[in-house]
Structures are given as structure tokens and as C-alpha cells.
Structure 1
Amino acid sequence: MSNVETRLDYAAGQQNYRGLLIKGSGLVPKAAVVLLPDWRGQSPLARDHAAYLVELGCAVAIADLYGDGFSPDSPDQVGPMVQRLIAHRAQGVEGLAACVEQVRKELPAGTPVLILGYSAGGMVALDYGRSSGDIAGIIVCSALLKTAAEGMKSRITAPVLILQGTQDQVSPMETIAAVIKEMDEAGNDVRFELYSQTHHAFDNPEAGTDPNARLVYSPTSAQRARQAIANFVAEVIG
């Protein structure tokens, strides 16, 4: 069955965003997933992740990570864009909140909404949860993990699933331990699934398989993460 894609426009403050809404043709979605992609934005990988979720019966909104529909086509463009997200974390939350609001307008009332963030998108997803975002669940995969920023709450009311590699150089085990400590102290409902011998971007086949690289694809961990995501979504939406 073919999928239906429509542009998803939304705005927060002075920033315009251009996302993408993907739904199964003729189907009423069981849930909606707002997908915050890795640094490349609405890339073939993001669309592949979205297609998998549509197969599970979800509508998927691929959020605009940077604004104005910008999707980097070169690694040289990544550093400044990600550093901007890190430096202005509240803006990322505002943009995601606007995306969630727009998604709710596009779907039947009462449709559960989850957030799924990869890499820097995972940082934004967790920050949205810390901002008391009203969603059914949060998933982060191979995320750029950060503890709460100064002045940010650490309490997250929605259940959370965090999928990380133990060899991740972007979010090393020290960072993972700090996030675990924060989540425990806040009393959050969080489960961590760690994959050994697994690096950052383990979900991305284009990362290659050189074990000495900073970004490394792991087909085994990628498949396990997909299954964990499917199980979590099924549990959350009942």
C-alpha cells in the first residue's frame, strides 16, 4: 500500500519550519510519531525510519530540525548547525512543540503522539519531555545525550526509551551514567537499552563499519533498536 506525503508547515517565534507528514493511504493511524532526524534532516534514512513506523500503523511527521526546511548535504555544514541547537536548546523545544501542535491538527482528535529523536534530535526530544511536553512517550536512539540545561526541569511525565551504544564517542558511558542519575533522581519512567560494541550512528548504513571510526553502522544493533521501538510504541498505545 502506498503512503501519502504532505508538507507540514509550522512556526515558533520568528522561525518558520517545513516538515513532512507521512501516512498510510486510507488508514486511520493508531498513533502519530514526530520523528526528529539526525543531522541530515529529511534524508533517505529518515524516510526509511518513517516508512517502518507507518508499517506499524503510525502516521509520521519528520520534523524540521534547523528551520526553513534546511537539510545539510555536506558534513561541513553540520558542526555549526548542531552547535546552534546545543547553544539554544529552548528554541529546539519551541520548534518541536509547534510541530506536535500542528500534527494534532492534522489527525483525528485523541490520536496518541510520541516523539522519536536520533542524534541531535534525541537531545531535543528529551528536552521537550523536560519542558512538560504533553505526549504519550519519548524514544531516543543513538542520541546526542545531554543532562538538563541550567534552569530546565528534569521531571518527565511520559515514559521514555533510550537506545545507546556502549562505544558511542558522542555520548560516552560517562554521559549515559549522568543521564541515568538525573532520570532516577527525578523519578522518571525510563528504560535504557545499551548495545555493546556499538558506536554513534549505529542505525545509519552510510556510516560504514570501520570499528575505529567515530560513526559506525551496526546492522545487529539497528535491528534490535527497531524491534525495541516497535515494542515500546505497542505498549504505549495499548
Structure 2
Amino acid sequence: MSGMIETGFEYTADGQAYRGLLLKAPNLEVKAAIVVLPDWRGQSALARAHAEHLVALGCVALIADLYGDGFSPDRPDQVGPLVKRLIDRRAHGVTALAACVDRLRSEIPFGTPLVCLGYSAGGMVALDYGRSGADIAGIILCSALLKTASKEMNTRINAPVLILQGTQDQVSPMETIAAVIAEMDGAGNDVRFELYTQTHHAFDNPEAGADPNARLVYSPTSAQRAKTAIASFVREVVERS
């Protein structure tokens, strides 16, 4: 996007330094602020593409730092240990995201609606943050690593939630989706699910390839539908504010 301004964005949580990336367009009235929780690769080209799409919608987009110290892995063999660390430290992920949101609020005009958008492992963090009672305008998950609430978590979420998943997702299969739906219903949460058939995990990622038997598979059709759904949800959030 022409004229895009990118700046580093530092925050701390539990003594750990985090380095996000803030993207915005110059001289634009901000409609909303979106914290993007990326997939396992962190501040990758794909995360930037997602953020640029949000900036084109009139938003400020902040790509959060999943791991601390601005680390963005670049090898598939790093996936397992890094994602396991996020799963084992779900409470810390919430603390880190809360610190990120608090810092972002100080950078945007008062009253600007703030939304968290999580992809894959980042989606788990975003939903857990909602369960913590977060005071935000909305939560979006796209091809997320879905998890029901852990024992120490609440299940009530104050913000409206949009969850976009594939029915062929091997990371978050339909059994998991059903369990999360049951949790959301039981808690009385305002959640909508949009399910895409013949769609696997990482359907938003062109680098995932097109092998239908693979664990990660790109779907240009579902990716475009998800972008449209995200834009519609953000518009709703802005109109309510």
C-alpha cells in the first residue's frame, strides 16, 4: 500500500520485552484499531498482508509479538516447540496481549474501537483474552488453533466474536469446533461461526500449497470470503461505536 507508515511498537509483560509492528496510513481518520495475532511465523509477509488489508479499511493495524523480543521463526521445524510453549503458557499469552492492548490505547484517539484478530495460534491467544473479561469492541479468529477454556478460565466473553474455520481443518477439527460452540452457547456469548467446506487449516496462506491431503492447504476462495467477513465485522464494530 502506497504511503504506508510502519513503526516498531514495544511493550512489556511479566518482565519480558515484546516488539510489535504498527502499520497505518498517513493523514487518515482512524475508524478502528486492530491487534493482529499472527500464525506461528510471527511478523511474516503474510501477517503484513493481513495488516495492510486492515489499513486499507481505514484501521490502524498492530502485528503483535507472539514470542517476545521480536522473534519471528522461519523454519517449519520450529512450529512444534513454539506452539507448545504458547499452549503451555496460555495465561501468559493473555497477559502479554493485555499489555499490548493497553499500550495501543495510548497511541490512538480516545473512544476508537479496538478489535483483536487472531490467526492459527494467535487465534487461541485472542479468544483466551476475551475469556479474561477484556474490554474490547470485538474478537475475530481466522483458521484458528481452537481451544476450549482451561479450568482456571472464565467462559463469559463481553465482546462480540467472529470465528472463521474450515470443515476439513485437522488442527481444529469439527469435534473441537462443536466443543467451542457448546462453551460459547453455555456462557451466553455473542458469537457467530462461519464454516467453509473443503477448507483446511491455514486456508489464508498462499504458501501452504494446494495438496488436498496435506495438513495445511491454501484456499483462495475461502481466504477471500474470510477477508470479506472480517471487513463486514469491522464495519459493524465501527457503526456500533
Instruction: Note the 1:1-238 alignment, pairs <5 A.
Output: 1-238=2-239
DSSP-derived class of the 1:102 partner: helix
Structure 2: 5+ residue stretches without partners: none
DSSP-derived class of the 1:106 partner: coil
Q: Which amino acid aligns with 2:135?
A: D
Residue 123 (structure 1) shift: 0.2
What is the TM-score when the length of structure 1 is the normalising length? 0.99
Residue 210 (structure 1) shift: 0.2
CA distance in 2, matches of 1:159, 1:197: 27
Q: Which amino acid aligns with 1:225?
A: A
Deviations 1:85-133 (A, max 9, x none): 0001000000000010111111111111000000000000000000001
CA distance in 1, matches of 2:22, 2:68: 16
CA distance in 1, matches of 2:21, 2:167: 32
- Runs of 4+ aligned residues of structure 1 deviating over 6 Å after TM superposition are none
Residue 61 (structure 1) shift: 0.4
Structure 1: 5+ residue stretches without partners: none
CA distance in 1, matches of 2:89, 2:41: 19
Deviations 1:44-68 (A, max 9, x none): 0000000000000000000001111
Q: Which amino acid aligns with 1:215?
A: L
CA distance in 1, matches of 2:233, 2:108: 21
How many residues are treated as equivalent by the alignment? Answer: 238
Residue 25 (structure 1) shift: 1.1
DSSP-derived class of the 1:95 partner: helix
Deviations 1:107-161 (A, max 9, x none): 1111110000000000000000000011000000000000001110000010000
DSSP-derived class of the 2:158 partner: coil
Residue 28 (structure 1) shift: 2.2
Q: Which amino acid aligns with 1:40?
A: R
CA distance in 2, matches of 1:219, 1:59: 25
Q: Which amino acid aligns with 2:192?
A: R
Q: Which amino acid aligns with 1:151?
A: E
